[in-house]
């Protein structure tokens, strides 16, 4: 790939509205952008989407920064990858840190697509010209205002961050505001074994799915709940690898999987999980992480795969940001987002001015010899 350097940008960007789950409220989004540049000056971009604190996974912005700077980039120089899909094997000895790995791999995929003058969606087999998208409503937001607004904008699915013990009340409030939207709720691992009967009692609500009610990695409790419900149980935090997905499917712990490229360590692993779901009859869809347009562009490409039939968490840029870091910003048209098949790489220009505004620290790793 003829790599000359990789530059890390550590940024902080204010959200349009605070985003609240049972684990806390996010008002500003801290994260990492990754720029991989070849000897000809061509750049590919990825994004590290870990949060400032380890409430979602064990990773944080700080751990990602350190792992990229001190561990992964030196290993990348030694390995000299020729294709982005070689990176997971190269970093195999470095245990964990999936989001940091995904950030670096994402930059390599974008660069590789541009070097080959190919759109990223087409490169990975994406065929859908546009995709239906869903939106997430947090606990701090006004349902009465937002549900009608999002329905008028064409969103196809709403994911609600419910209050534990008030799920029926919260879901029926959304239903009262819209009879057409598909509705699901995200448990974010807040439930325990004692909640099995309570959760099973919600089966009559006709939800699209219940996402990750129990703790990450607890395939047993998710299997027990799925066995009591027709409502599909979706796994999110529990799936950090192909092996996790394989176990979940074999145990019957879920009927659908939310595949997040960042959570599973990069696109190469995400594609393996997608193919597994396809062959196993398990629905798969693409989740989001309060990311900038760079990661959102990667997600759009992934969500354009032919087997992705459930609207993903791929809302418009203005849902979260006063100004995004890509040009043009991601926009919604009649509930769909257009997939950029006609441009090389991720299909969006980088807003360098905006990146300079939000960046607080940078680090550049120069390779002694360009990767072949």
Q: Would you name the residues annotated as active-site residues?
A: 161, 260
For the beta sheet containing 3-21, the strands, ordered from the edge strand earlier in sequence to the opposite edge, are: 43-48, 24-38, 3-21, 359-366
Report the distance separating Cα 371 and Cα 81, nearest Å. Answer: 7
Cα three-residue angle 15-20-24, rounded to 5 degrees: 110
Centroid of chain to Cα 275: 17
Q: Is 309 helix (H, G, I), strand (E, B) or coil?
A: coil
Q: Is 80 helix (H, G, I), strand (E, B) or coil?
A: coil
Centroid of chain to Cα 160: 17
Owner of token pair 């087997």: 307
Report the distance separating Cα 243 and Cα 90, nearest Å. Answer: 18
Q: Tell me if 33 sits within 8 A of 6, measured CB to CB.
A: no
> What's the full length of the chain, in residues?
372
206: left (phi over 0), alpha (psi -120 to 50) or beta: left
Buried b (16+ CB within 10 A) or exposed e, 158-179: bbbbbeeeebeebbeebeebbe
């Amino acid at each position: 790939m003829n790599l000359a350097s990789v530059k890390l940008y550590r940024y902080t960007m204010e959200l349009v509205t605070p985003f609240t789950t049972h684990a806390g409220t996010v008002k500003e989004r801290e994260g990492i952008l990754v720029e991989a540049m070849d000897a000809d000056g061509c750049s590919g971009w990825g994004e590290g989407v870990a949060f400032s604190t380890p409430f979602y996974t064990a990773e944080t912005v700080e751990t990602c920064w350190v792992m990229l700077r001190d561990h992964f980039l030196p290993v990348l120089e030694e390995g000299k990858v020729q294709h982005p899909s070689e990176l997971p094997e190269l970093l195999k000895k470095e245990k964990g840190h999936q989001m940091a790995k995904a950030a670096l791999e994402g930059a390599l995929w974008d660069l590789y697509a541009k070097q080959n003058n190919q759109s990223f969606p087409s490169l990975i087999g994406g065929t859908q010209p546009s995709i239906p998208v869903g939106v997430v409503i947090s606990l701090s937001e006004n349902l009465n205002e937002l549900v009608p607004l999002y329905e008028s904008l064409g969103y196809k699915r709403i994911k609600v961050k419910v209050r534990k013990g008030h799920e029926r009340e919260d879901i029926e409030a959304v239903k009262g505001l819209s009879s057409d939207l598909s509705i699901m709720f995200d448990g974010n691992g807040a439930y325990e074994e004692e909640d099995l009967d309570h959760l099973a009692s919600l089966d009559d609500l006709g939800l699209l799915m219940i996402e990750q009610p129990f703790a990450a990695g607890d395939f047993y409790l998710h299997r027990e709940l799925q066995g009591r419900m027709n409502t599909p149980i979706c796994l999110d935090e529990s799936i950090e690898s192909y092996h996790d997905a394989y176990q979940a499917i074999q145990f019957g712990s879920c009927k659908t999987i939310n595949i997040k490229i960042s959570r599973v360590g990069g696109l190469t692993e995400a594609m393996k999980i997608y193919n597994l779901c396809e062959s196993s009859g398990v629905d798969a869809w693409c989740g989001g992480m309060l990311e900038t347009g760079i990661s959102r562009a990667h997600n759009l490409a992934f969500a354009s795969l032919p087997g992705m039939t459930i609207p993903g968490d791929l809302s418009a840029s203005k849902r979260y940001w006063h100004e995004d870091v890509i040009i043009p910003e991601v926009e919604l048209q009649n509930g769909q987002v257009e997939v950029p098949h006609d441009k090389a790489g991720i299909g969006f220009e980088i807003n360098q001015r905006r990146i300079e505004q939000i960046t607080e620290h940078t680090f550049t790793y120069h390779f002694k010899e360009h990767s072949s």
